Structures are given as C-alpha cells and as structure tokens.
C-alpha cells in the first residue's frame, strides 16, 4: 500500500490509541512486523502543547519507521497550524482524527462528532491538506449512529480534498466499542473511492484479518485493541496471510523478554513514577487470563521499577 511517497512493506498498521500507542509500544509493534504505527492523538489546541503529556507524544527521538502523527480538533485553522507544527517536529504523515468516540473529545465537536457535519469535515480536510507538503490521512467511523451511517459520503469528501488514505472503524460513534464491528460500510467505501482504504475493528486473530481483507477488499488493516498485550500479533497475521498456516504460540521465554523490554522503555519514556503506573495496564493485557489474576493484583501493588522487573522475572522463571 502506498501513502504519498511512502510504500508500506505490508498491509498491517497499528491504530492510534490514546494512552497506549506511545513510542515504546509503537516500536515493539514495528519490530514484530507492523508496516506503520500511528501516534497517539494530539490536540490541535496550542495551549496544551507545553504539557508533559503533549511533549511526550511529540517526541520522535529514537522513533523507528515512518512517523505518522494524529491530530484532533474542530477548528480548520488550528488543525492546519497543528499539522504544520508537527511536520516541523519530524512527522512524515499527518493523520486526522474523526473516529474517536470519547465524550470528552466529542463534546468539543472533535473526533467522530465531526461526522455530523460534512461541511465542516470538508473545511478541515482542505485546510490541513493545503497547509502541509506531506501526505494527510484520515480516520473515521462508519457514521454517527446506526441509523445514519454516512461513511461513504465522508469518504467521497476525503478523496475530493486530497486525503492520501482513509482508515474506517466498523462501528458508529454511538456504538462506542460495544457489539461487533460491521464491514459492509467499509466494503461500500472501498467500492466507491479510489484512494487506499484501511479496515479497522475487531481484528484480533490471523483468521479474522484474512476474512476482513477478503470481504471488504480493503488495501490494509489497522489493528488496535487486538495488539494490546500482543505486539507479536502482526507477525502472526503476516505469517498466516503469506502461508495460510498459523504460527506456534509465542514461547514463555520470548514473552518475558518482550515484557521486560517494554517495561524498561516505559520507565525511560515517562520516568519511574509514571512508568510504573503505565506498566500496570500493559502487564494486565499481557497476562490477562483468569489464573493470572493473583499475579496482576500483586503487580499492581508494586511502587518501583525494580520490584516490577523482579516480579515479572520470577513469574516466568517459575512458569518455565
């Protein structure tokens, strides 16, 4: 799949997830085979750019691969300025968020709330595409609510405005993450526009990945929650798409190595205090089985990086 001048090495993209797809997580996913990893959402409001959270999200030092930065907002001028600023900071691709269903985002008429106003969508897309000389991509949902799935209309606007590729999550904003993703709208969008279309939503196994590609005709897949605690899912899917066979489950020794590396990267990125707290949710995803409940409870009580590292090592030593 081609995005502007960038030829992706395969069809797998890491979805942007606030509080999850930081640089530590993105680099892990890239190493396991993802062709592109989109950054966490950045506000277009310059008043918040000096916050610790925004500065960390804007950091590209040590970044692997193509740098795609997602911005969110509802004001065309602010969005254009945010795009220019992030290109100056090293972004290779600007991604526009019109898919986030969170209330705190939607109440500002940003994220998926924008799908209620096609005219404003057009203004924002035109402003951002005109403002930068790098490819601009767009992430949307199928619509605002099940009774009003206007994803095809928004996709046509995106193509007319010069958007380089379009990612579509197979739910409406009203659906949040409930129920199951539907792929009929994504299929209809792919049949309507000529720009690359990326299918997103409930892709959590190699078999599901192949089904969604075949059913929608999409050019690529975007994987979010399916990669939480499983950055190796990209390797599994690639192997299945290429051979039709499933890889053997990841060995405990490799899982331990990945987790410890991930923890170290979190401590380095956020400092020990915040890193320890971010580590809790990631470890909860890595070890999410019912029989691992006690381990998670013990891990979540720890307050230092050394304690967390030691407990993970001990757990896998006993397991092996």
List the binding residues: 16-18, 70, 139, 169, 200-202, 224-225
SS3 content of the chain, % helix, strand, coil (to 5): 50, 15, 35
Which residue ranges make up the annotated binding site for FMN?
16-18, 70, 139, 169, 200-202, 224-225
For the chain, where are the alpha helices, taking DSSP H only? 23-31, 52-58, 76-88, 103-106, 118-131, 151-161, 184-192, 206-216, 233-243, 252-286, 293-300, 305-319
Q: Are 135 and 128 in contact (CB under 8 A)?
A: no
159 C-beta neighbours (distance < 10 Å), count: 18
29 is catalytic: no
Q: Are 190 and 197 in contact (CB under 8 A)?
A: yes
- With tokens 């090592």, the residue in question is 313
The Cα 130–Cα 316 span in angstroms is 52
12 token code pair: 């797998």
Active-site amino acid positions: 100
């Amino acid at each position: 799949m081609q995005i502007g001048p960038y030829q992706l090495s395969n069809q797998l993209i890491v979805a942007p997830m606030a509080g999850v797809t930081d640089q530590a997580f993105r680099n892990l996913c890239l190493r396991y085979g993802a062709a592109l990893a989109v950054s966490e959402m950045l506000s277009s409001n310059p008043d918040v750019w000096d916050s610790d959270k925004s500065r960390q999200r804007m950091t590209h030092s040590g970044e692997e691969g193509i740098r795609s930065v997602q911005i969110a907002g509802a004001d065309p001028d602010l969005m254009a300025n945010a795009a220019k600023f992030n290109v100056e900071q090293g972004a290779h691709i600007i991604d526009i968020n019109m898919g986030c269903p969170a209330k705190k985002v939607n109440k500002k008429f940003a994220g998926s709330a924008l799908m209620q106003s096609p005219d404003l969508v057009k203004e924002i897309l035109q402003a951002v595409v005109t403002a930068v000389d790098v490819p601009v991509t767009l992430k949307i949902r199928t619509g605002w609510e099940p009774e009003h799935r206007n994803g095809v209309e928004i996709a046509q606007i995106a193509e007319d405005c010069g958007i380089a590729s379009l990612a579509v999550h197979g739910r409406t904003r009203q659906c949040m993450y409930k129920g199951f993703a539907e792929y009929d709208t994504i299929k209809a969008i792919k049949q309507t526009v000529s720009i690359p279309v990326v299918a997103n939503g409930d892709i959590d196994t190699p078999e599901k990945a192949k089904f969604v590609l075949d059913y929608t005709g999409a050019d690529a897949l975007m994987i979010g929650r399916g990669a939480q605690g499983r950055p190796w899912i990209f390797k599994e899917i690639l192997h299945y798409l290429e051979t039709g066979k499933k890889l053997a489950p990841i060995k405990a020794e490799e899982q331990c190595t990945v987790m410890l590396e991930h923890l170290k990267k979190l401590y380095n990125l956020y400092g020990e205090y915040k890193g320890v707290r971010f580590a809790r949710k990631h470890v909860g995803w890595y070890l999410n089985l019912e029989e691992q409940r006690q381990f998670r409870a013990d891990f979540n009580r720890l307050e230092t990086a050394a304690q967390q590292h030691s407990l993970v090592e001990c757990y896998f030593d006993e397991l092996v």
